Chains A and B, each alone.
Chain A
Amino acid sequence: MSRRARPVLAVGALALALSLTACGSGSGGGAQSGGKIKVGLITKTDTNPYFVKVRQGAEQAAKTSGVELTTAAGKFDGDNTSQVTALENMVASGVKGVLITPNDSKAIVPAIAKARAKGVMVIALDTPPEPQSAVDALFATDNVKAGELIGAYAKAAMGGKPAKIATLDLAPGVSVGVQRHEGFTKGFGVAASDPSIVCSQDTGGDQAKGQTAMENCLQKAPDINLVYAINEPAALGAYTAIKAKGREKDVMIVAIDGGCTGVQAVKDGKIAATSQQYPLKMAQDGVKAIVSFAKSGDKASGYTDTGVQLITDKPQAGSESKDSGFGRENCWG
């Protein structure tokens, strides 16, 4: 055999070996599962703990219902193309229904329409598409309500003290972030352009960016005494910045999400309150809806609120809440 031939053959053999490995490490079964019902799940990314929990919820429900679950995700928050490709491949593999958390509410719509035209039921989880009628059903947290809960809590906790507010938002044009922000201002009882909001920054929901954003906000307005954060990583980033200024005692931070790290931060007193959402339930209900569609032909429809709960260890009159112990039992991540 020529010297050059060896690497060529090696690549071929390794590719085959790899394929076999990949098969072995897959969710088992493969396509030869006969009449098994197939369900697809497409999340925003693979890495965010929130979506890991969504995936676990779907896996659990798939196991108990005896259906086959295929999962896929975008490569980054906002990655529409990978979600389109995954949706197409799932439809080609013969799924009965797909649960999807759209990365781009508008851009995913044509691909969903194609899937539904082929008889696949599509349920949006967590984030609605635009328009919401593009999917059969939506299972999600009411993000406006989640914002309202912490807004009203913060108002009560401030006890009439004049507020200087920093808002650490998600990113422009992303509906989840916009709705939470609107909910917060509504719950706190201020207009969007109220002068008490002295600093607003985008964080992408990222801890490091949350810290940088807060540092800049404190430069701009050193007398900030209330921070609204889109999620707990952003809130914890803000806490680091605030602590560096020695102001952790007199700045209140409120957040949304209810992840386990976030609940721990509530317990530690770093975050005053958070609105907890329930991704596990979202995914489980979604899988059940598809199974029932496969068996009876009845499609789920409309919006199902999967619930939100205010978590705090410093309850305020007028704000119904649970403590961090409850939060830890029901947290995700």
Chain B
Amino acid sequence: MTATTSLAVRAKDPAALRRLLTAPAAGPLAALILASVFFSLSTEQFLSGGNFSLVLQQVMVVGTLAIGQTLIILTAGIDLSCGAVMAFGGILIAKTAVEGPLPPLLAIALGILACGAFGLANGLLVRAVPLPPFIVTLGMLNVAFALTHIYSAEETVTGLPEPLTFLGRTFPLGRTDVTYGSLVTIALFLGFAYALSSTAWGRHVYALGNSSESARLSGIRVNRLTVGVYAIAGLVYGIAALLLVSRTGVGDPQAGQTDNLDSITAVVLGGTSLFGGRGTVLGTFVGVLIVGIFRNGLQLMGVSSVYQTLVTGVLVILAVTVDQLSRKGTR
């Protein structure tokens, strides 16, 4: 099916076809569409607006984390601390709002800024010492995890005030219910897609990821840029923390423990290269949806969760294989 359409397009405009196929997100998008078609045929509940809205709601937290992760991976870095930092932000928001002393909106601001501070610390360590991002964020993962558990005393925080759960609420759109938080996630994806593709900052991020040294020689202040990217990613994790709290309706110290790997999975599935400088944030969105749709679709079919994990694993290996093969092609 795909082959015939591609051939038809090629006949008309070879350049357009090449652009389409070489776009990093083309493969993932094809996988997403095929999977959706398959699930629509095999379960009666898959193809409903309500179900798609549910998937969006389920992926909004990891999706938002994956935006920050994409930025960092584009600079040829990696962030293992994102889930733990988010969990800290979430528990900070929930606890300061429920037990005081802060009004809910200030608690939210504090949580987001605290995550930003973690990001800033990551960035400074990566550049100032300098240390490999893998090591810095591995350390920060443990620091954030421990602080979360110390601060929360292992207690789940319940009874959250309304402003904290607002984003988890739904509003009717046509015949389905959409969560406000999904809109925040989509807006963030669109915002960062624009910033990366159409601003000088975005071009600098790609340049840095391709070659830090060339970027420096061409006048980009690489240290400031890197630290900024990690700090911005941290702030994005803070927003993810708010989404997490609003989605589950509690402050959960156990949250986010596998979200670092889940976000990397989404970034890789979305066609972003782990070696930096190549990829898009919209590709990541597709990657996030692939994971969410496979999990949802297989669950609707009654397939148990180990198979969902199996499928995700195979998809990740395929995605990296595609990245490697297409790199060879450009050499």
| Interface positions of A (Cβ within 8 A of B) | 1-12, 14-16, 18-20, 22-23, 25-27, 29-32, 38, 46, 68-73, 75-76, 78-82, 84-86, 88-90, 92-94, 103-107, 109-111, 171-173
| Residues of chain B contacted by A73 (CB below 8 angstroms) | 305
- Contact pick for B38, options A9, A16, A89, CB 8 Å: A16
Q: Looking at the complex, which one of B51, B250, B315, B326 makes contact with A107 (CB distance below 8 Å)?
A: B250
- Considering the chains assembled together, what is the distance between the CA atoms of A27 and B298 in angstroms? 11
The answer to whether A172 touches B303, judged by C-beta atoms less than 8 angstroms apart, is no
Shortest C-beta distance, A82 to chain B (Å), equals 8
| Pair B43/A90 contact, Cβ less than 8 Å | no
* One of B34, B158, B295 near A12 (C-beta < 8 A): B34
With contacts A4-B329, A16-B34 taken as known, whether A30 is within 8 angstroms of B252 at the C-beta atoms is no
Min CB distance B85 to A, Å, is 16
Interface string of B2-13 (1 = CB under 8 A from A): 110011000000
Q: How far is the CB of A107 from chain B (nearest CB, A)?
A: 4
- Check if B282 is an interface residue, CB within 8 A of chain A: no
Cβ distance A181 to chain B, nearest Cβ, rounded Å: 15
Are A94 and B45 within 8 A (Cβ)?
A: yes
Given A11-B30, A14-B318, A93 and B248 contact (CB-CB distance below 8 Å): no
Contact A92 B21 (CB under 8 A): no
Find chain A residues with CB under 8 A from B3 CB. Answer: 1, 9
21 contacts between A and B (CB under 8 A): A1-B3, A2-B21, A3-B329, A7-B322, A8-B27, A9-B30, A11-B30, A12-B30, A18-B311, A26-B304, A30-B43, A32-B44, A46-B306, A76-B258, A78-B254, A81-B61, A89-B295, A92-B296, A94-B45, A104-B250, A173-B156
State whether B298 touches A15 (Cβ < 8 A): no
Q: Is B220 an interface residue (CB 8 A)?
A: no
User: Contacts A30-B43, A81-B248 hold; do A103 and B254 have CB atoms under 8 A apart?
Assistant: yes
Q: Are A173 and B154 CB-contacts (below 8 A) given A12-B2, A76-B257?
A: yes
- Known contacts A2-B17, A7-B322, then 17 further A-B pairs from the complex at CB < 8 Å, ordered by chain A residue: A4-B21, A8-B322, A11-B31, A15-B30, A22-B301, A46-B305, A76-B258, A79-B258, A80-B248, A92-B300, A93-B300, A103-B254, A105-B156, A106-B250, A107-B248, A107-B254, A109-B250
A79 near B248 with CB under 8 A, answer no
Pick from A6, A70, A103: contact of B299, CB below 8 A: A70
Q: Looking at B39, B154, B303, B329, which has the most chain A CB atoms within 10 Å of its CB?
A: B303
- Cβ B21 vs Cβ A89 within 8 A: no
Cβ A85 vs Cβ B18 within 8 A: no
Encode contact with A along B304-331: 1 for CB under 8 Å, 0 otherwise. 1111001100110011011001100100
Flag if B45 contacts A79 (CB, 8 Å): no
Q: Is B22 an interface residue (CB 8 A)?
A: yes
Bound-complex Cα distance A94 to B22 (A): 41
Chain A residues within 8 Å of B296, by CB: 89, 92
Partner of A8, one of B21, B57, B256: B21
In the complex where A12-B2, A89-B296 touch, is A26 in contact with B18 (Cβ < 8 A)? Answer: no
B276 close to A (CB within 8 Å)? no
Closest to A80 in B: B252
Residue from A81, A86, A104, A172 whose CB has the most chain B CB atoms within 10 Å? A81
A68–B31 CB distance below 8 A: no
Partner of A110, one of B21, B38, B248, B326: B248
Q: Is the CB of A11 within 8 A of B258?
A: no
Q: Given that A7-B322, A103-B254, A104-B254 are contacting pairs, would A72 and B304 also be in contact in the complex, using a CB cutoff of 8 Å?
A: yes
B214 within 8 A of A: no
Please name all residues of chain A whose beta carbon is closer than 8 Å to the beta carbon of B247 when the two chains form the complex.
Answer: 84
Cα–Cα distance between A69 and B301 once the two chains are bound (Å):
11
- Please report the C-alpha to C-alpha distance between residue A31 and residue B46 in the assembled complex, in whole angstroms: 10
Q: Which residue of A lies closest to B160 (CB)?
A: A110
Chain A residues, CB < 8 A from B44: 31-32
Q: A15-B315, A46-B305 are in contact. Are A92 and B54 (CB under 8 A)?
A: yes
A31 near B257 with CB under 8 A, answer no
B233 within 8 A of partner (CB): no
Instruction: Answer whether residue B186 sits at the interface, using C-beta atoms and an 8 A cutoff.
Output: no
Instruction: From known contacts A11-B322, A85-B295, A107-B248, infer whether A26 and B45 are also in contact, taking CB-CB under 8 Å.
Output: no
State the Cβ distance, A168 to closest chain B Cβ, in Å. 18
7 tightest CB-CB pairs across the interface, nearest first?
A: A89-B299, A110-B249, A78-B254, A31-B43, A26-B303, A12-B30, A173-B154
Q: Which residue of B lies closest to A114 (CB)?
A: B249
CB-CB < 8 A to B39: which residues of A? Answer: 19
Chain A's closest residue to B149 (CB) is A172
CB neighbours of B321 from chain A (8 A)? 7
With A31-B43, A68-B302, A76-B257 in contact, do A107 and B319 touch (Cβ < 8 Å)?
Answer: no
Nearest CB in chain A to that of B322: its residue? A7
B244-263 with Cβ < 8 A to chain A: 244, 247-250, 252, 254-258
A93 to B17, CA, bound (A): 39
Q: Is B155 an interface residue (CB 8 A)?
A: yes
Cα–Cα distance between A269 and B80 once the two chains are bound (Å): 45
Q: Are B35 and A15 in contact (CB under 8 A)?
A: yes
B305 engages A11 (CB within 8 Å): no
- On whether A7 and B45 interact (CB within 8 A), knowing A23-B303, A79-B258, the answer reads no
Say whether B211 faces chain A, with CB atoms less than 8 Å apart: no
CA distance A12 to B319 in the complex (A): 11
- The one of A7, A14, A16, A79 that contacts B326, using a Cβ cutoff of 8 Å: A7
Chain A residues closer than 8 Å to B315, beta-carbon distance: 15, 18
Least distance between B88 CB and chain A CB atoms (Å): 16
